[in-house]
Structure 1
Amino acid sequence: MSAAGKPNATNDAETHGLYIDGGEVAGETGELIDVRNPANGDVIARIPHATDADVDRAVMSARRAFESDEWGKMELRTRARLVNKLADAFESHLDELYHLETVNNGRPLTETRAQLRRLPDFFRYNAGLALSRRDAVIPVEGDYLNYTLRRPIGVVGNCTPFNHPLMIMCKSLAPVFASGCTTVVKPSEYTPLTTLALARIFTEAGLPDGVFNIVTGLGPTTGKALCEHDNLNKLVLTGGTEAGQIAGAQAGRHFAHQTLELGGKTPVVVFPDFDVDQAVNYAAFGAFIGAGQTCVCGSRHIVHADIYDSFVEKLAAKAKAIKIGDPTKPGTQLGPVISEKQRQRVLNYVRAGIEDGAKLVAGGEIPGELAESGGYFVQPTVFADVEANMRIFQEEVFGPFTSVTKFHDEKEAIALANNSPFGLAAAIRTRDVARAHRVAAAIECGIVWINDHHRLDPASPWGGVKLSGIGREFGPESFEDHFEVKSVMVNTGDGPFDWYEGTSGQARLN
């Protein structure tokens, strides 16, 4: 079975197993999925297509580890030291992970290096949260002591996408480990290799067996089996809105807690007091980083009429100058999209934009010099004169693709920004401080960048509203969501009690 692309296969492609109980094991059926390098289409590895029985084996491994003395009764400070040790182990293997991630998902090495070097901080930050957490003592009426106890929620299922394989996994793993939970990860069938590598690194660093398990396979089969498993206490998924709706319904059957980070159609509002050249530089970064395959891709540029023509002209020129090619080569600024299917999706939206009357000002084609490379390359694409009712304004493309729409006043800009079923992120470009805060408050989304784009931090909450999902990742919000809270009410008085005698005048919430 092939995940995507041409049927060729290299004889030396590694065959991997599932990762269960601290080591790789074969899948039940022996059926394998090809993993391809998106820059040339070659098969670089084969992974098991995990069955329901394989998923059950992984979930029960996680359950045993959660209930074990070794992990379940580990002292808080011992766990925090271990999580910090995992961060150190991650850091010591960065060079091999940079290369493997670039070959597997096609992001230029410069991008991969910039992103992965920050990931150990996720673990250190959550280790700090574990050390500093305190349960509450709550003032209540009467002679009572009320306090809370928090217990780790249990087994967490993590479904991760292809666009940021390690980053999105680590933002989930860090609070899982620091809280004392255990996990089963189902990575994208396109990009499982760094996930498997990190599991080996963490096992060697001392993570107990069964705490971190991996099942590989397709979403409708392996992913479905994981989401439906009745021993799952929490589901964390990053992916498209449709996938989130399906997975959320499956996990909801047994009332698993959920954090879902789903689609996006990020509006970028550019006011005329902001430098046009700087706005264009941010636009190119926001739209084309990761080949535009991010949920916070700057996909809708809403630009004031006074600078609209200049912005369009300069963004088109910037897009045409971006160097496309082999992501492992120095100087490459844009790599391929993940698959031929994804490239065709982008090209289909190019046709949709033209059919709906938008003006194609840059890109929109397969680069001629790379047409025979076997890779899934597509030019960075810019459409101008885009109206709010057009498909390319409303629908998520998930590729190096952006649009530009004109506005005349702040009220119109906010209305255009909110004219979307999505609400993950937004960006504002202005030097007017009051306007920046006013517009940030008015846009319906979970994340706003003022004079920046795609900036995140382990301490800052991340998530969306509307069709962009539920819950928050990063920050104490994510850490706290890995616990169940128990309220303990203690009567400290010593007076007699008989409800059926002398109850007149009593006030009680019972």
Structure 2
Amino acid sequence: MSAFDRDLLENDKIFVGGEWRRGAGGAYVSIYPADQSVNAEVSTATARDVDDAVVAADVAWRKADWAGLKVHERAAVLHRVASLIDARHEALSVLQRRDNGKPINETRGLVRSAANTFRYFASCAETLEDSVTPSRGDYLTMSVHEPLGVVAAITPWNSPIASDAQKLAPALAAGNSVVLKPAEVTPLTSLALARICDEAGVPKGVVSVLPGKGSVVGDALVRHPLVAKVSFTGGTTVGRGIARLAAEKLMPVSLELGGKSPTIVFEDADLDHAVNGVLFGIFSSSGESCIAGSRLFVARPIYDEFVRRLTRAAQCLRVGDPSREDTQMGPLISKQHRESVERYVAKAIEEGGRLLCGGERPTGNAREAGFFYLPTIFDGLTNDARVCQEEIFGPVLVALPFDDEQSLIEQANDSVFGLAAGIWTRDYKRAWRVSKALATGTVWINTYKQFSISTPFGGWKESGMGREKGYFGIREYMRQKSIYWGMNEQPLAWAK
């Protein structure tokens, strides 16, 4: 299993206020989840590093060499970031694979997505318009938008480079400075992105990248008085804690949190499409995805046939070396996370679930050295089982039959989460009706897990608040201001 281009990193240093230096915290040893070999040793940040980065970001934001630039000048820098990502596409793809164990074809897609995200928000910066609003008197009224200041971006370990870009690009395009805190276990691609931003001409201090523990770095960022907004992607429990701290500061937050997404297969669905789509929705990324379609509802008349076909197809998925072009599932992120998934599998069996496939670690082909787990399918449970209500964040699917549309919608919506859902049917009226009834931020119809940077994404209920991507994605990093411009020829009547 190949190594990566170490020129992307700056030895064991972190990026603080536009300068590479050793973090004041302890060293973190990054390992490759596929075989536990060492990737690199990275120093981590402390609260003092956070303060240095935030103060530098505040100074940089207030200076005219970033927020004060004309929008096309900021856009040009973001286009250079995108071009540098493209120029190092394969090296970044390999680094992302080593960072979290995703198959190489998937990490290539994530790197392409990151470059396109910077291009999209560069274009947004140039084309966003403020408005002249209808006047109600002898004055001109305008609604304008301005940057917030210093943004703290806290990203997860499952898709680091894409998640980083989805926060960095719109925040920078809007004229903010950004302090990025990557997940503790996946710091490498974020540090490589810091190098690219520096080379592209992002002014000193506008971007910092601070690896380390969330309880240290993340907490210090959220509490810092100069941080004007936090954008967080991760678990719901941590998201709630951030929201509480933000409330004390009256600070806006964007929270993209957990999910327990339903996938629905109606009797008239194209079963070939549905089988492949359901498999992709839950088992791509080894199930380590907030939008994973982990609850499968199938119309009872086709339930047995569909589940048989799905189980056979799941058993044929290629689980193994992420560097191979034909690998479909790599390892889970860590030993601890695999053990968590195993506990959920044991709980499903304890609750009466019938194990149809998987439920164990694979053997052979050197997979014993990594954190691999086989695609797992259960049935025989009800929607109130723990594995149907709690996010597992792994390759575990529960299949459930349904009898009618109304009971289906009630079960699909019977969750504290509301991030995504999938519908498989040939009936376009039913697809529209059910998609409107589902309490979720995204619905896929006859497809799954497809994304467009131009289309907003975010959750309902405990899946979060705020939106990423699209027009909303850049406005989330701006504050609105109203301007009244007097046009009266005579003094205000009151002053006579």
Fold match by TM threshold 0.5: yes
Which SS does the other structure have where 2:485 is aligned? strand
> What is the CA–CA distance in structure 2 between the aligned matches of 1:461 and 1:114, rounded to whole Å?
19
> Contact between 1:284 and 1:315, CA under 8 Å: does it hold in 2?
yes
1:393-422 superposed Cα distances (whole Å, 9 cap, x missing partner): 111000011111110111111111101000
Tell me the equivalent position of 2:5. Answer: none
1:223-271 superposed Cα distances (whole Å, 9 cap, x missing partner): 1111111111111100010011112222332222111000000101110
> What is the CA–CA distance in structure 2 between the aligned matches of 1:46 and 1:255, rounded to whole Å?
38
- From 114, 117, 121, the equivalent of 1:122 is 117
> Contact between 2:34 and 2:371, CA under 8 Å: does it hold in 1?
yes
Tell me the equivalent position of 1:186. Answer: 181
1:214-253 matched pairs, under 5 angstroms: 214-253=209-248
- Unaligned residue ranges in structure 2 (runs of 5+): 1-8
> What is the CA–CA distance in structure 1 between the aligned matches of 2:232 and 2:21, rounded to whole Å?
24
> Contact between 1:370 and 1:377, CA under 8 Å: does it hold in 2?
no
Q: Displacement of 1:372 after TM fit? A: 6.6
- Unaligned residue ranges in structure 1 (runs of 5+): 1-12, 502-510
* Greater alpha carbon shift after TM alignment, 320-329 vs 483-492: 483-492
> What is the CA–CA distance in structure 2 between the aligned matches of 1:372 and 1:281, rounded to whole Å?
25
- Write the letter of the residue equivalent to 2:99: N
Tell me the equivalent position of 1:350. Answer: 345
1:211 aligns with 2:211: no
Tell me the equivalent position of 2:392. Answer: 397
* Greater alpha carbon shift after TM alignment, 139-148 vs 433-442: 139-148
- From 409, 414, 422, the equivalent of 2:417 is 422
Tell me the equivalent position of 2:287. Answer: 292
1:162-185 superposed Cα distances (whole Å, 9 cap, x missing partner): 000001110111111211111001
> Contact between 1:266 and 1:425, CA under 8 Å: does it hold in 2?
yes
Q: Displacement of 1:311 after TM fit? A: 1.3
Q: Displacement of 1:477 after TM fit? A: 0.4
1:300-323 superposed Cα distances (whole Å, 9 cap, x missing partner): 011100110011111111111111
> What is the CA–CA distance in structure 1 between the aligned matches of 2:327 and 2:72, rounded to whole Å?
44
1:30-45 matched pairs, under 5 angstroms: 31-45=26-40
> What is the CA–CA distance in structure 2 between the aligned matches of 1:486 and 1:78, rounded to whole Å?
23
- From 357, 365, 376, the equivalent of 1:362 is 357
Q: Displacement of 1:86 after TM fit? A: 1.3
> What is the CA–CA distance in structure 1 between the aligned matches of 2:129 and 2:109, rounded to whole Å?
34
Q: Displacement of 1:469 after TM fit? A: 0.2
Tell me the equivalent position of 1:491. Answer: 486
Tell me the equivalent position of 2:162. Answer: 167
Which SS does the other structure have where 1:128 is aligned? helix
1:132 aligns with 2:121: no
- From 398, 403, 411, the equivalent of 1:408 is 403
1:105 aligns with 2:100: yes
| RMSD over aligned Cα atoms | 1.6
Which SS does the other structure have where 1:207 is aligned? coil
Tell me the equivalent position of 1:7. Answer: none
When normalised by structure 1's length, the TM-score is 0.93
1:453 aligns with 2:448: yes
1:279 aligns with 2:274: yes
Tell me the equivalent position of 2:335. Answer: 340
Tell me the equivalent position of 2:21. Answer: 25
Residues 302 and 372 (structure 1), Cα distance of their counterparts in 2 relative to 1, 3 Å cut = closer
- From 82, 85, 89, the equivalent of 1:87 is 82
Identity, % of aligned positions: 39
Tell me the equivalent position of 1:467. Answer: 462
Q: Displacement of 1:128 after TM fit? A: 1.2
1:431-450 matched pairs, under 5 angstroms: 431-450=426-445
Q: Displacement of 1:80 after TM fit? A: 1.2
> What is the CA–CA distance in structure 2 between the aligned matches of 1:268 and 1:43, rounded to whole Å?
38
1:155 aligns with 2:150: yes
Q: Displacement of 1:371 after TM fit? A: 7.8
When normalised by structure 2's length, the TM-score is 0.95
Tell me the equivalent position of 2:3. Answer: none
Tell me the equivalent position of 2:324. Answer: 329
Q: Displacement of 1:72 after TM fit? A: 2.8
Q: Displacement of 1:500 after TM fit? A: 9.4
Tell me the equivalent position of 2:4. Answer: none
Q: How many residues align?
A: 488
> What is the CA–CA distance in structure 2 between the aligned matches of 1:286 and 1:428, rounded to whole Å?
12
Residues 377 and 14 (structure 1), Cα distance of their counterparts in 2 relative to 1, 3 Å cut = farther
Q: Displacement of 1:498 after TM fit? A: 4.8
> Contact between 1:23 and 1:200, CA under 8 Å: does it hold in 2?
no
> What is the CA–CA distance in structure 2 between the aligned matches of 1:35 and 1:461, rounded to whole Å?
33
Q: Displacement of 1:496 after TM fit? A: 5.2
> Contact between 2:229 and 2:253, CA under 8 Å: does it hold in 1?
yes
- From 54, 59, 69, the equivalent of 1:59 is 54
Residues 496 and 85 (structure 1), Cα distance of their counterparts in 2 relative to 1, 3 Å cut = closer
